[in-house]
Structure 1
Amino acid sequence: MSISRIKTTNGYRFHGTGQADKKQNLFTVTPNLPATDVLQSVSDLLSTLEDPIYTAAMGECAHEGNYAWLVHHSLMSAKAALDAAIDGLMEAERLECESAQVEGKV
């Protein structure tokens, strides 16, 4: 399977908004993005959180208010993008398996 064929899938939303019972999300991961680009973006998002989380863990800085929300939103963004890429990988594997079965390779 070529990694260039792996793309993000539909449906990964994040950042809830409005009334909780409505289960609305403000942002959505764009479908059909190359997985390699998405994984690089996830890595970049997580890299921005290294220092804030480390300083909080060492007791040097408490995460409160806007600072805590910044960390939370960055993590939710990274998770949604990664989940969409993982689903894209699983979909590519499924399609490859189906193709192999049609061709009689399995």
Structure 2
Amino acid sequence: MDKHTEVNEKLNAGAFKGPVTVEMSFTNCNLDRQALFAVRPGVPAWDALSEASCILHSVKEVLDDAGMENLVISPSQAWLLYRAVESARAAIDSVHQGLEEFA
């Protein structure tokens, strides 16, 4: 075993062993509908779900204000909210697929 392999084994000894995200592309663009963004693989599922929850909480707060007529949402703000929900969904779908592969 060379020194490089030995160092990597020590570094990975405490690596996360639970379910993780898989790559999940989202936000298609151009005529070829190429995916512009993606959830990165290997993120612990708990962390990805926590981030998705934070994103959805923020969107819910804005929509609640708009629904109570405390805030008027412009079309560009609606697209921002749509993109936020799309990214949260990608994180959740990535965790879901990662859980299926983990089982």
Q: TM-score range by the shorter chain?
A: 0.7 to 0.9
Identity of aligned residues (%): 30
- Confirm or deny that 1:37 pairs with 2:50: no
Contact 1:4 1:36 in 2 (8 A): no
TM-score by length of 1: 0.74
Please list, as runs of the form range in 1=range in 2, the aligned pairs for 1:1-106 lying within 5 A after superposition.
Answer: 4-10=17-23, 12-19=24-31, 22-93=32-103
Q: Where does structure 1 lack aligned partners over 5 or more consecutive residues?
A: 94-106
Q: Distance in 2 between matches of 1:24 and 1:52?
A: 30
Runs of 5+ unmatched residues, structure 2: 1-15
How many equivalent residue pairs?
A: 88
- 8 Å CA contact 1:9–1:85 kept in 2: the answer is yes
Q: Give me the TM-score of the superposition, normalised by structure 2.
A: 0.76
- Cα offset for 1:56? 2.2
